[in-house]
Structure 1
């Protein structure tokens, strides 16, 4: 397995790969509504360079009282295609808590829909910042890609 294909990647190893074609960084932070915080706003305050925000509540199948249910293939393809993520890209997922509960859910979702190269950032944004690596502010504006819908495989 190549270093950039590892399922768990250290902040320093990821920093060395920044700018590599096909590398897509994804902030999958989810915050319980009762906390009164906005994960999109937190993403805009500090994110990995070039990272996009994957909203687990938007890229989901609406299901009444049950939030963020696994999307169908078309919803997933449209949602991540709008984020500029193609099926051949290497996706590195992280979250702002560092616990990776939201990131691991997104990691699994990408794998479920056939993304072959998906990694988790070890320690998430807190580990990235502890390593004194660069962060950006604002929201990324990726160019959308036409992504085919791939049925779930897991």
Structure 2
């Protein structure tokens, strides 16, 4: 086993990770939707992250980005250092893992990968799991929003709605997009947004890995989500769009941003236009 982590790709297959579990600069983070998933068996050496800590947790937009202080505390507890390569995964096909990696991108930490398919693909490929929790070695990590461009705030999005250079990827279900379902004051979608459900990004026949890249690009381009545009993705809380942000990056889209306020913010204000 090597002591230094090689240059891992953004999307990491289970077999590659399995050969590097002992690498000293590697931090594997399990950020499941269901906490029981970690207790029932996780990648050896993986630390548990409660996905709620990736959200502000209070205020008008509880799904917004946590404060720099809260992020500093979180990543210090996890033991993050500038040299650490983070491999994130979850139990649901990439939503919370994507939100974690997006948060790392936001604070300028670009050494990260997604374990393709998460725990489902890991188990399906026959790799070992353990139920023994891993305790991280704390660090003193000072998180700052060094890359604010990876997010878009409501004010900027309001200014850009209708621009030909902008394409909005709504990762919610068709019913939420059409305004027939939801628990917000206003139902529907941001004007001009196109709908591509996050579930359609996953390959159900390959243990929730990302679908074939060529197929995904073809389906996105058919909706006007093309690489020459500024892509903004969102859902209800920037959880499902954690995966769609990640997928767009994996597909080579260079100008992809996420709207952390998502519909939780947009659908509950008086000053935001809505289409059905």
Q: TM-score, normalised by structure 1?
A: 0.84
Within the candidate set 103, 108, 112, 2:106 is matched to: 112
Whether the aligned pair in 1 keeps the contact of 2:54 and 2:100 (CA below 8 Å) is no
Whether the aligned pair in 1 keeps the contact of 2:12 and 2:116 (CA below 8 Å) is yes
**4+ residue runs of structure 1 moved beyond 3 angstroms?**
64-68
Which deviates the most, 72-81 or 57-66? Answer: 57-66
Secondary structure of the 2:113 match is strand
Residue aligning to 1:19: 22
Q: Who wins on radius of gyration, i.e. which is larger?
A: 2
In the TM superposition, what are the counterparts of 1:1-154 in structure 2 within 5 Å?
Answer: 4-30=7-33, 39-64=34-59, 66-97=61-92, 99-153=93-147, 154=150
Query: For residues 71-118 of structure 1, what are the alpha-carbon distances to aligned partners after superposition, in whole Å with 9 as ceiling and x for unaligned?
Result: 122211210210122232000000012x11111111111111111211
Shift of 1:125: 0.5
- Relative contact order higher in (CA < 8 Å, ≥ 6 apart): 1
Secondary structure of the 2:88 match is strand
Q: 2: distance between equivalents of 1:148 and 1:87?
A: 10
Whether the aligned pair in 2 keeps the contact of 1:4 and 1:17 (CA below 8 Å) is no
Whether the aligned pair in 1 keeps the contact of 2:55 and 2:63 (CA below 8 Å) is yes
Equivalent residue pairs, number: 144
Residue aligning to 2:260: none
* Cα RMSD for the two superposed structures: 1.9
Whether the aligned pair in 1 keeps the contact of 2:27 and 2:84 (CA below 8 Å) is yes
Q: TM-score, normalised by structure 2?
A: 0.49
Q: Kindly tell me: are residues 47 and 68 of structure 1, through their superposed partners in 2, closer, same or farther at Cα, counting changes over 3 Å?
A: farther
Secondary structure of the 2:69 match is helix
Residue aligning to 1:34: none
Q: Kindly tell me: are residues 65 and 53 of structure 1, through their superposed partners in 2, closer, same or farther at Cα, counting changes over 3 Å?
A: farther
Secondary structure of the 2:53 match is coil
Q: 2: distance between equivalents of 1:68 and 1:141?
A: 27
